[in-house]
Chain A
Amino acid sequence: MRDISIHDLDDIAMGAAVLGTGGGGDPYIGKLLARSAMKDRPPVTLLDVEELDDEALVIPTAMMGAPTVMVEKIPSGDEVITAIRSLGEYLGREVVATMPMEAGGVNSMIPFAVAAREGLPVVDADGMGRAFPELQMVTPTIWGIGATPMAIADDKGNSAVLNTISNHWTETFARSLTVDMGASALIALFPMTGKQVKEATIPGTLSLIQRIGSAIRESHEEHTDPVEAVCEATGGFAIWEGKVGDVARRTVGGFARGTASIQGVGDYEGRTLEIDFQNEFLIARDGDDVLVSTPDLITVLDAETGEPITTESLRYGFRVAVLGIPSDHRWRSEKGLELVGPEYFGYDFAFSPVERRMG
Chain B
Amino acid sequence: MSLRIGVDVGGTNTDAVLMDNRRVVAKLKTPTTENVTSGITTAIRSVLDQSGAQTDAIDAVMIGTTHFTNAIVERRHLQPVGIIRIGLPATAALPPLIDWPEDLVEAMESSTYLVHGGYEFDGRKISDFDPEEVRTAARDIAARGIRAVAISCVFSPVNSDLEEQAAEIVAEIVPDVMITKSNEIGRIGLLERENAAILNSCLRDLANRTMTAFEQSIADLGIDAPLYLTQNDGTLMLADYARTFPVLTIASGPTNSMRGAAFLSGLDNAVVVDIGGTTSDVGMLTHGFPREASVAVDVGGVRTNFRMPDVYSVGLGGGSLVDFDANTVGPRSVGYRLTEQARVFGGDTLTATDIVVAAGKAEIGDASLVANIAPEGVAKALGRIQEMVETAVDRMKTSSEPVPVIVVGGGSVLVTRDVEGASQMVKPDHYEAANAVGAAIAQISGETDRVYSLEAMSRDEAIADAKAEATGRAVAAGAAPETIQIVDVEDVPLAYLPGNATRIRIKAVGDLAMDPS
Contact = CB atoms under 8 A, between A and B. Distances in A.
A binds B: yes
A319 B396 CA distance: 8
A42 interface: no
Contacts of B124: 182
Contacts of B310: 317
Given A76-B88, A255-B496, 12 more contacts: A32-B99, A36-B98, A68-B492, A69-B494, A73-B87, A73-B120, A156-B89, A182-B121, A182-B124, A251-B500, A263-B399, A312-B492
Contact of B91 (A67, A73, A313, A316): A73
Contacts of A71: 188-192
A139 B371 CA distance: 72
A249 B493 CA distance: 7
A66 B496 contact: yes
B94 A32 contact: yes
A76 B398 contact: no
Contacts of A265: 400
B399 A245 contact: yes
Interface in A225-277: 243, 245, 249-251, 253-256, 263, 265, 269-270
Contacts of B493: 249-251, 256
A321 interface: no
B155 interface: yes
Do most interface residues of chain B lie in helix, strand or loop, or is the interface mixed?
loop
A75 interface: yes
Nearest to B490: A315
B399 A74 contact: no
Contact of A74 (B91, B398, B502): B91
Contact of B98 (A32, A73, A183, A263): A32
Contact of A72 (B89, B122, B155, B500): B155
Nearest to A80: B93
B154 interface: yes
B398 A316 contact: yes
12 contacts: A65-B496, A71-B191, A72-B154, A155-B91, A157-B89, A245-B399, A249-B492, A251-B493, A256-B493, A304-B395, A316-B398, A317-B396
Given A72-B189, A182-B120, A313-B295, A77 B496 contact: no
B503 interface: yes
Contacts of A340: none
Interface of B: 87-94, 98-99, 118, 120-122, 124, 126-127, 154-155, 188-192, 284, 291, 294-296, 310, 395-400, 451, 492-498, 500-503
Contact of A254 (B120, B189, B399, B498): B498
A254 B497 contact: yes
Contacts, number: 150
A66 B495 contact: yes
A179 interface: yes
B126 A155 contact: yes
Contacts of A66: 121, 494-497, 501
B155 A73 contact: yes
B190 A74 contact: yes
B122 to A, nearest CB: 8
Given A68-B503, A71-B188, A255 B89 contact: no
A178 interface: yes
Contacts of A319: 395
A279 interface: yes
A32 B492 CA distance: 25
A76 B93 contact: yes
Do most interface residues of chain A lie in helix, strand or loop, or is the interface mixed?
loop
B98 A254 contact: no
Contacts of B398: 243, 245, 316-317
Most buried by A among B87, B396, B492, B500: B492
A183 B121 contact: yes
Instruction: Across the A-B interface, give the 6 residue pairs with the lowest CB-CB distance, nearest first.
Output: A77-B93, A251-B493, A155-B90, A256-B495, A66-B496, A182-B120
B301 to A, nearest CB: 15
Contacts of A304: 395
A324 B137 CA distance: 53
A344 B310 CA distance: 39
A175 interface: yes
Nearest to B503: A68
Given A68-B188, A182-B124, A243-B397, A75 B93 contact: yes
Contacts of A197: none
A36 B190 CA distance: 17
A73 B495 contact: no
Most buried by B among A73, A113, A269, A315: A73
B399 A243 contact: yes
Contacts of A317: 284, 291, 310, 396-398
A95 to B, nearest CB: 21
Contacts of A113: 93
B218 to A, nearest CB: 39
Given A73-B120, A183-B120, A316-B398, A68 B494 contact: yes
Contact of A33 (B87, B94, B154, B502): B94
A35 B395 CA distance: 35
Most buried by B among A23, A76, A250, A255: A76
Contacts of A32: 94, 98-99, 191
Interface string A20-33: 00010000110011
Given A36-B94, A156-B126, A255-B495, A72 B190 contact: yes
Contacts of B495: 23, 66-68, 251, 254-256, 279, 312
A72 B93 contact: no
Nearest to A32: B94
A111 to B, nearest CB: 15
A20 to B, nearest CB: 13
Contacts of B284: 317
Contacts of B91: 73-76, 155
Contacts of A178: 496
Contact of B496 (A156, A254, A316): A254
Most buried by A among B88, B121, B503: B121
A76 B92 CA distance: 4
B102 to A, nearest CB: 13
Interface string A106-126: 000000010000000000000
Contacts of B122: 183
Contacts of A73: 87, 90-91, 118, 120-121, 126, 154-155, 190
A251 B94 contact: no
Most buried by B among A113, A155, A243: A155
Contact of B90 (A28, A74, A279, A312): A74
A93 B497 CA distance: 35
B497 A183 contact: yes
Most buried by A among B191, B291, B502: B191
A75 to B, nearest CB: 5
A157 to B, nearest CB: 7
B93 A256 contact: no
A140 to B, nearest CB: 22
A313 B296 CA distance: 10
Contacts of B451: 68
A62 to B, nearest CB: 13
A276 B500 CA distance: 20
Contacts of A67: 495-496
Contacts of B501: 66, 251
Contact of B294 (A69, A175, A183, A313): A313
A220 B497 CA distance: 37
A69 B497 CA distance: 10
Nearest to B92: A76
